[in-house]
Structure 1
Amino acid sequence: MLKSTIYSVLLIASLLTSRYVAAQGVDFQNDIAPILEERCWYCHGEDEQESGLRLDIRHVMLKGGDSGLASIVPDKPEKSYLLELIRHDDEDERMPPDEDRLPDNEIDLLTRWIKEGAVWPGQMEAVAEEKSDHWAFQPIARADTPKLETHPENPIDAFLLQSLARHELSFSKAADPVALIRRASIVLTGLAPTPEETAEFVAAYANDSDLAYTGLVDRLLESPHFGERWAQHWLDVIRWAETNGSESNMYRKNAWIYRDYVIRAFNEDKPYDRFLFEQIAGDTVGQGDATGYLVSGPHVPVATVGQEPAARRQARADRMDEILQTIGASAMGMTVGCARCHNHKFDPIAITDYYSMSAVFQDIEFGSRFPELAEDHPRRLRGEELFSQVFKLRAKLREMGPWEEHWTGFREIYFPPTTTKSLRITFLAKSAYIDELEVFGNKYGYQNLALASQGTKVHSPEQFAVLRKELDNINDGQYGTEQWAGMSPEGSDEQPWVEFTFSDPREINRIRISSNREDFLETDYLEGLNTGHVAPYRIEVQNDAGQWVPVAATPQYQQLNKQHRPRSGILKDVQKLVDQINEEGPKPSFIARFVQPAKTYVFSRGSPESPRDEVFASGLVELDGELNLDSDATGKQRRVAFAKWLIDPSNPLTARVAANRLWHHVFGGGIVTTTSDFGAAGSLPTHPELLDWLAAELMQPTVSSEPTALAAGPQPWSMKHLIRLMVLSEAFQQSSQPREEALAVDGDSALLWRFPPKRVEAEVIRDSILLASGSLDRSLGGRSFRIHNVKKRYAQWEVTDNHGPTTWRRMIYQERMRRVDDQMFTAFDFPDCGQVRAKRPVSTTPLQALNLMNSEFVIDQSKQIAARANQDTSGDEIQSVDRCFELLLGRAPDADERRDCIALAKASDLSFVCRAIINSNEFAFIP
């Protein structure tokens, strides 16, 4: 009895103690610290932090480890990743990692501790003030130009000479004028100088070398071919191409509109900060064609993903990743994509940074739209000029009854203005497929009166319905494969029809109708491509008496043409102008499609199936990227705010990356050789003070003693100004010849004791051959020339003509197809646009020599060069050989070269001499 009483007393005392402890809360020292010490600190403490996770410091637990997820969130155990791990919620992510699981009472104590605020005596005031000390994240500081005894005029030379002096080196002698004009011409325009240009420069150089060279550089900077050359560098780094690179590798219709924008921007010397802003938010400033930048990377089209929701979510996440890769590599010099699944392993980019940046671009989808163009945009001006002619012809047609125009992917049918509440379209066929039908009236401009959102009701009898082709698709404002299909019942002569009823009577005068407008707008060159075909139709309106009155019908048009003889000619003229507008004016282009921004969440381990906390649009936290936006911000607001953060002078990455990229393309290697990775895994700058001076000079030019038009004051962020400074430097003008003592110290010429010789790109080789033969078409811009076939939807592209006369434009205008070998210049490391190519690799393979010796292009062009040489010299044997050297190398042959080439010409013909020169290192290298 006594034992039982004592047991009861002890039990009651225990219960009272537990209730007291619960009432007092969890004590860290007695309840939590022992658990952490025994279970966690061995792997996640001071000495070791597996997965970047440390659990012995509170503010580090608040931040989390490599996963980017907070280990503890005070007051919110449901958001605390530590609890998920110790509960073993995910079989792949467990702590401890073995079979043992913490006892339930310990998990309960940790849960209660977090719920009560995760109080940790002595650490409550501590805040993680972790800022990276990596050089690229530090503010740009313009160093004073070094003071040297030689007093170089160009600050660039002063920095380089100071560095060379530390290694007991100096610049090499000046390059000879023939090499110099060839070097400057290729670097600035991608085209070798003509023999006449070389002769003129050499003569002027002999009289006044400085004046001659400065004049040459300024002329080349003002050449329209400057934009073509430097646009290609930008297109490389953003992986721009005209196919999507997926299994179907579909053609991106009119993607070249963006390419032309880039060429125009370089030629106009558009300030770099404005250049970046327009590519991110150009739709807000009348430069909508610039947003092709955001969708320049590869993607898998929605139509090929399937209907499974998880697959669609994954594909959408992949497309967002392509956008971030483009921006990270080109504008920020950061491998942002590494933070998609966890915190960046090397750089201060958290997983929350990644998804906050993706929130900026949630209104972007890969696709086409009409670009927003300013009033002075050349395409808009041309479009207005052509439209004015169309309007005059339409005025004549209105007197001759209804008519039809074939526009991009749709038919537009005009009829006399009529007021009605209902409109019916009957299709004079057994079946009809319509993705969207739009109704307009003069009073309402381009407001689509047929939209369901306008209150318009649509009806079609059920007997015409086809499975999975919903009637609602016909006026939902969406183009594409989601169509309405009307089909006559089997054995019936009844024709399918659809009826629209407006919310109130409307005056209408035209409709637009298409069967798969998205297909037609977004791709091209496919067998079986939907070309906007529409079944014959009859259009009727309902009058006040409820009767259906016809206003237009396909069979009616031929009768009207017979009644009005001029009508056929006017219609042909209208269609010709329509085709011109579609080519030269504003046009739907693959420059991104806008969608409603969705809320953005951090995806645990990068999986859209594991969404966690919501994040809002911002830049990198490390660089104060807070944009003060929430999920209600529009897509435009997000992109404008992000673009302004990116180009703010306080952001040290933007100007550094841009200045370094320009340096790379002038000197053949960047001051930071990893031009798109300024992070810890990238290379260190060889001349850090010079890089910062260049970045500061780009943002705010200080040099004002230039004897040119630029001297009046180069604009801030002027790329031409910075390139000009580089090309006018003594470093650029020095000889490329090696020096043994310098090679022993700096074998790759990184210190620029000579101009580093480099092989020219595939485009330069090809364009220079065409230039030498006199075949090069120098016209600027426009649709890319085709070298490929028309293919079936899931077939592969095939090269059908890569050397005929229609291809003799500069190579930047050649169709850029992903995953396709052009069977000639791909061998010269021409990128396939699947990966970022901020720096093209340089390989040497037998295939290169074979292509430059035996390809149809080279054989044909060599014959043309030989014919030109013979014509220029009236067939003189010796002079013809000399002329071949002048056309291809810009110089005359020496005695040995002349002798050997004359012998070769006699044994074969002069074209073999041309092929031999084309295969020489001298032709393929910048001297």
Structure 2
Amino acid sequence: MTLAAPAVLLFVAFAPPANAAAPANDGPAAEVVDFVRDVEPILEARCYDCHGEWVQESKLRLDSRVGMLKGGNTGSAVLKPGNVKGSYLLDVVRHLDPGMEMPPESDKIPDEEIAVLVKWVEQGAVWPGQMNDVVERETSDHWAYQPVVRPEPPAGPGIADGAVPIDAFLARKLHGAGLSFSQPAEPEALVRRASIVLTGMAPTPEEVEAFVAASAEDPDAAYVALVDRLLASPRYGERFAQHWLDVIRWAETNGSESNMYRKNAWIYRDYVVRSFNEETPYDRFLKEQIAGDVLGAGEATGYLVSGPHVPAATVGQEPTARRQARADRLDEVVQTVGASVMGSTIGCARCHNHKFDPISIQDYYSLTAVFADVEYGARRPELAPDHPRRRRGEELWNEVRSHRRLLREAGGPWTEDWRTHREMYFNPVETDAVRLTFEGKGVGLDEWEIYGPADWQENLAAADAGAVASANPATAVPRGGVEKVNDGQTGTEAWRAKVPDGSDEKPWVTIEFPQSRRVNHLRYSRNRDDLAETDYLEGLATSWLPHFTVEVRNPAGEWEPVAETKEIDRRLGRGGDLKATHAALQASIDALLEEGPQHSFVGKFVEPADTFVFRRGSPESPGAQVAPDGPGAFGESLNLPADAPGPVRREAFADWLARPDHPLTARVMVNRLWHHLYGAGLVTTTADFGAAGTDPTHPELLDWLAAEFVDPQVPGPHAEPWSVKHMVRLMALSRAFRQSSLPREEGLAADAGASLLWRYPPKRVEAEVIRDSILQASGALDETVGGRSFRIHNVKQRYAQWEVVDNHGPETWRRMLYQERMRRVDDRIFTAFDFPDCGQVKGKRPVSTTPLQALNLMNSEFVIDQARRIAERAETRAEDGDDPVTQSFLLIFGREPTAEERIAAEEVAAEHGLPVLCRTLLNANEFAFLP
């Protein structure tokens, strides 16, 4: 019987043999099922021809107990001893799973034989001689899944004495192909190449001049000093952060139909920049992104929710749609982790065992179980005590407390606006119930919390604490039940009330405590999640509510008012010290929300649900339950129970992933760095190290780099375990990186793509390099590191598309890294240069050549404006001696024009003006390609 997706089924029916055993349950003498007598004849007659020793359709064997426990391409066990409901074998023979009937309907196994199989499973599926056999974890002899072993750098023919290991490995293969390295690049080309590759910015004329002069005295010392200076620049972190954001598909919108903005998602981007600049070891970098909430780096978990997702409000209320959307969100997490860190297409095992790699469907769902507590959304990230935002937050909190003390001494209640919610403070009072009575015709509350002076963290209104909510039944509305007001869930599902037309009723809601409590402040909101998670949206929910009165119940059972929002507004509107103090308080709150720890779209955590293998990938067909674990072929099991807490799961997986002997983690990262420095990885499929990917061009070099990454043996200023800068420095200092990019006939004939690196492979620079270098040439670049993204888009309606409204004004003159990164949106200039839309993993960007690129780089408002500024700057600099044409070349190319170029350039400038000449130079290949 074939247990695979219907598209690959081959149904074969067999008649039972004449001597088939009688049903085991056909009388009292057969209470205990005997496998040899009762079960094996059924399996042999019905199953073995398709799932036996010689044929295994869908890679499923039913002629062994282990074969049943392992399952086939579906990846899930078809036998669960003692568990009839969990044994898929019984489902298919009973034809309970449409489309998966085994054998087909016309040849269904007789009911009496099915009864034998059912009883056999109930009794533990005893199979003589095989009870000690166990299913082993997946293994593979594929090169990428073998341990990394540091090879000795080669020596011999074609390898220069004293060659660094990188060059030695490359030179050996070059020699075998009858090739050798090219001559060193000219200093002007080398400084431009190193600057762009390591920082994403072309060098300034002054930097070129200084390097050329230093190279004339000592080329090696000058180049080492250049590389070290570039690695120390904050621009280095920005450059490599962009690379990381590409591969994890990070963006500031969710990419769904609504494509809404993810509020404060940029907090994660700044974490990545800071990590690269501060030399966070790569193993720590990974651990923080997977379990930063328990490592004092909560902002790092933005990595887990970097991919696209469909918001709950878009999914709706239908349960099957919600389950599917949840499965899709977890799949995005798994795709991110698999592609960026493990170089594996793990998502291919969502519906069946991976077709090429040793990743089973059970591995896939075990990995989703690791992240079962992760949900797309916002939270206030957990930060270490020395984090700058936390230190600043503590300073501002002291200001808030000081202002509150003054307001409390003034004797009157007050309110505070925290953007996502509001709070009200009043004099402490003892009561067993609190009531809010609203003015107006309608109101909605997604959550109402009540606190007392004894413990400012204990929500007395929580249903979990025994508090009971009730509301005016005369103002009730469908799907707005009062239980939602204190269920601990914020968002779109809220208590709602509406006054019927012509009625004098008022909406009110009451919270009753199990016993009398002392209370002094409230927290309330309409749609806290909407305000915390999105922005720049027309009709966005606000924290505003209709005016209301707060009452408490006294011992006599009477309601007494303690505060009214209308009266608070009136008092604060009078002016004087009270108004000034409240204004200062609100200013401190606003500063705290901007400068301190703040709700950011870096994921939120939920109680992990049980995880099951979904047959054919459908949440509506759950199979066996699985525990959180990593893919078996990549290392030992996490050995976690199925009910392990979420943070424990993620921290254990992070340790498993970042261990020194993991076969993929170091290999994938050093290959990615090689790709960024040379334009192509040693494994050109940078996000797929599996059997469907490419083999490494230099396997021993790849393993040497991986070993050096984990345990550095080459001395240097950054020679620490898992140091990215150490690896980048080694690659940048190699002869291969420093050689000329000019073509040679013998090289083109033997290796046209330069995969053997007989020359430095020329390549077009990325979109952001072009844009940022234009701003630098004009002198307009704002070099501020970090902070909110600059806006180029409109404020939109919920299901409208984003529109570009300003992509060239002064507010946009920062590095492109800090431009709002919206999915599925063309910025109308540099998207044409293959800037990713963040919908798919981009281990490497495509490089296209289209007419739109030239049109944008010649005629866009941004380029026209910046070319004018470059011309003005060239004219100003020319006052010191050089002519404006020479200065234009220096600002854009970093060099002076040749005699022939000067003649042509002066003609263009004389006829069309210097700005047109600058636009022409910006469109030259020299500006857009690495030398």
With over 3 angstroms needed to count, the CA separation of the structure-2 counterparts of 1:551 and 1:90, relative to structure 1, is closer
Deviations 1:857-878 (A, max 9, x none): 11111111111111111398x7
* Partner residue in 1 for 2:359: 349
* Partner residue in 2 for 1:840: 845
| Alignment partners' CA distance in 1, 2:785 and 2:486 | 41
Deviations 1:447-484 (A, max 9, x none): 22221222223332212222221111111221111122
- 1:635 maps to amino acid: G
* Partner residue in 2 for 1:811: 816
| Alignment partners' CA distance in 1, 2:792 and 2:217 | 47
- 1:591 maps to amino acid: V
Select which of 301, 311, 331 maps to 2:341: 331
Deviation at residue 775 of structure 1 after TM alignment: 0.8
DSSP-derived class of the 1:758 partner: coil
| Alignment partners' CA distance in 2, 1:433 and 1:862 | 54
Where does 1:889-908 land on structure 2 (aligned, <5 Å)?
A: 889-908=893-912
Select which of 278, 285, 306 maps to 1:268: 278
Deviation at residue 576 of structure 1 after TM alignment: 2.1
Contact kept in structure 1, 2:24 and 2:116, CA below 8 Å: no
Contact kept in structure 2, 1:41 and 1:56, CA below 8 Å: yes
Contact kept in structure 2, 1:873 and 1:880, CA below 8 Å: yes
Contact kept in structure 1, 2:66 and 2:133, CA below 8 Å: yes
* Partner residue in 1 for 2:6: none
| Alignment partners' CA distance in 2, 1:166 and 1:103 | 68
Deviation at residue 353 of structure 1 after TM alignment: 0.7
| Alignment partners' CA distance in 1, 2:25 and 2:712 | 75
DSSP-derived class of the 2:521 partner: strand
State whether structure 2 residue 369 is matched by structure 1 residue 384.
no
Deviation at residue 178 of structure 1 after TM alignment: 1.0
Contact kept in structure 1, 2:76 and 2:624, CA below 8 Å: no
* Partner residue in 1 for 2:870: 865
| Alignment partners' CA distance in 2, 1:104 and 1:471 | 51
DSSP-derived class of the 1:295 partner: coil
* Partner residue in 2 for 1:748: 753
Deviations 1:816-838 (A, max 9, x none): 11111111111111111111001
Where does 1:778-789 land on structure 2 (aligned, <5 Å)?
A: 778-789=783-794
* Partner residue in 1 for 2:666: 655
With over 3 angstroms needed to count, the CA separation of the structure-2 counterparts of 1:206 and 1:387, relative to structure 1, is same
With over 3 angstroms needed to count, the CA separation of the structure-2 counterparts of 1:192 and 1:465, relative to structure 1, is same
Select which of 539, 544, 556 maps to 2:567: 556
Equivalent residues, number: 907
Contact kept in structure 2, 1:26 and 1:109, CA below 8 Å: no
Contact kept in structure 1, 2:23 and 2:116, CA below 8 Å: no
State whether structure 2 residue 709 is matched by structure 1 residue 698.
yes
Contact kept in structure 1, 2:467 and 2:514, CA below 8 Å: yes
* Partner residue in 1 for 2:143: 135
Deviations 1:775-822 (A, max 9, x none): 111101111111111111111111111111111111111111111111
Deviations 1:732-786 (A, max 9, x none): 1111111111122211111111111111111111111111111111101111111
- CA RMSD, aligned part only? 2.6
- 1:799 maps to amino acid: V
Contact kept in structure 2, 1:732 and 1:755, CA below 8 Å: yes
Where does 1:546-695 land on structure 2 (aligned, <5 Å)?
A: 546-561=557-572, 565-695=576-706
* Partner residue in 2 for 1:222: 232
Percentage identity across aligned positions? Answer: 59
State whether structure 2 residue 725 is matched by structure 1 residue 720.
yes
Select which of 422, 430, 448 maps to 1:437: 448
State whether structure 2 residue 891 is matched by structure 1 residue 880.
no
Deviation at residue 45 of structure 1 after TM alignment: 4.8
Contact kept in structure 1, 2:23 and 2:113, CA below 8 Å: no
Contact kept in structure 2, 1:151 and 1:158, CA below 8 Å: no
- 2:142 maps to amino acid: H
Contact kept in structure 2, 1:26 and 1:112, CA below 8 Å: no
DSSP-derived class of the 2:280 partner: coil
| Alignment partners' CA distance in 2, 1:591 and 1:773 | 36
Contact kept in structure 2, 1:917 and 1:923, CA below 8 Å: yes
Contact kept in structure 1, 2:24 and 2:38, CA below 8 Å: no
Contact kept in structure 1, 2:79 and 2:88, CA below 8 Å: yes
- 1:640 maps to amino acid: E
With over 3 angstroms needed to count, the CA separation of the structure-2 counterparts of 1:75 and 1:506, relative to structure 1, is closer
State whether structure 2 residue 154 is matched by structure 1 residue 146.
yes
With over 3 angstroms needed to count, the CA separation of the structure-2 counterparts of 1:407 and 1:653, relative to structure 1, is same
DSSP-derived class of the 2:367 partner: helix
State whether structure 2 residue 805 is matched by structure 1 residue 800.
yes
DSSP-derived class of the 2:454 partner: helix
DSSP-derived class of the 2:668 partner: helix
With over 3 angstroms needed to count, the CA separation of the structure-2 counterparts of 1:804 and 1:459, relative to structure 1, is same
Which stretch has the larger CA shift, 65-74 or 626-635? 65-74
With over 3 angstroms needed to count, the CA separation of the structure-2 counterparts of 1:378 and 1:899, relative to structure 1, is same
Deviations 1:170-229 (A, max 9, x none): 111111111111111111111111111111111111111121111111111111111111
With over 3 angstroms needed to count, the CA separation of the structure-2 counterparts of 1:791 and 1:627, relative to structure 1, is same
| Alignment partners' CA distance in 2, 1:909 and 1:651 | 60
* Partner residue in 1 for 2:496: 485
Deviations 1:841-896 (A, max 9, x none): 111111111111111111111111111111111398x7211111111111111111
* Partner residue in 1 for 2:60: 53
With over 3 angstroms needed to count, the CA separation of the structure-2 counterparts of 1:561 and 1:600, relative to structure 1, is closer
With over 3 angstroms needed to count, the CA separation of the structure-2 counterparts of 1:103 and 1:647, relative to structure 1, is same
| Alignment partners' CA distance in 2, 1:89 and 1:530 | 47
Deviations 1:578-605 (A, max 9, x none): 2221111111111111111111111111
* Partner residue in 2 for 1:518: 529
- 1:885 maps to amino acid: F
Deviation at residue 553 of structure 1 after TM alignment: 2.0
State whether structure 2 residue 161 is matched by structure 1 residue 156.
no
| Alignment partners' CA distance in 1, 2:27 and 2:574 | 101
Deviation at residue 109 of structure 1 after TM alignment: 6.1
* Partner residue in 1 for 2:293: 283
With over 3 angstroms needed to count, the CA separation of the structure-2 counterparts of 1:128 and 1:319, relative to structure 1, is closer
Deviations 1:552-585 (A, max 9, x none): 3223235434666122223222222222211111
| Alignment partners' CA distance in 2, 1:487 and 1:23 | 65
Select which of 462, 472, 495 maps to 2:473: 462
- 2:916 maps to amino acid: F
TM-score (norm 2): 0.93
DSSP-derived class of the 2:300 partner: helix
Contact kept in structure 2, 1:272 and 1:719, CA below 8 Å: yes
Which stretch has the larger CA shift, 576-585 or 780-789? 576-585
With over 3 angstroms needed to count, the CA separation of the structure-2 counterparts of 1:24 and 1:837, relative to structure 1, is closer
Deviation at residue 307 of structure 1 after TM alignment: 1.2
State whether structure 2 residue 917 is matched by structure 1 residue 913.
yes
With over 3 angstroms needed to count, the CA separation of the structure-2 counterparts of 1:508 and 1:61, relative to structure 1, is closer
- 1:728 maps to amino acid: L
Which stretch has the larger CA shift, 893-902 or 66-75? 66-75
With over 3 angstroms needed to count, the CA separation of the structure-2 counterparts of 1:424 and 1:27, relative to structure 1, is closer
With over 3 angstroms needed to count, the CA separation of the structure-2 counterparts of 1:860 and 1:513, relative to structure 1, is same
* Partner residue in 2 for 1:398: 408
| Alignment partners' CA distance in 2, 1:914 and 1:512 | 58
Deviation at residue 99 of structure 1 after TM alignment: 4.2
Deviation at residue 493 of structure 1 after TM alignment: 3.8
| Alignment partners' CA distance in 1, 2:176 and 2:449 | 73
With over 3 angstroms needed to count, the CA separation of the structure-2 counterparts of 1:923 and 1:33, relative to structure 1, is same
- 1:733 maps to amino acid: R
Contact kept in structure 1, 2:572 and 2:582, CA below 8 Å: no
With over 3 angstroms needed to count, the CA separation of the structure-2 counterparts of 1:69 and 1:492, relative to structure 1, is closer
| Alignment partners' CA distance in 1, 2:368 and 2:390 | 32
Structure 1 runs not aligned, ≥5 long: 1-12
Contact kept in structure 2, 1:616 and 1:631, CA below 8 Å: yes
- 1:144 maps to amino acid: E
| Alignment partners' CA distance in 2, 1:38 and 1:398 | 85
- 2:870 maps to amino acid: I
With over 3 angstroms needed to count, the CA separation of the structure-2 counterparts of 1:743 and 1:114, relative to structure 1, is farther
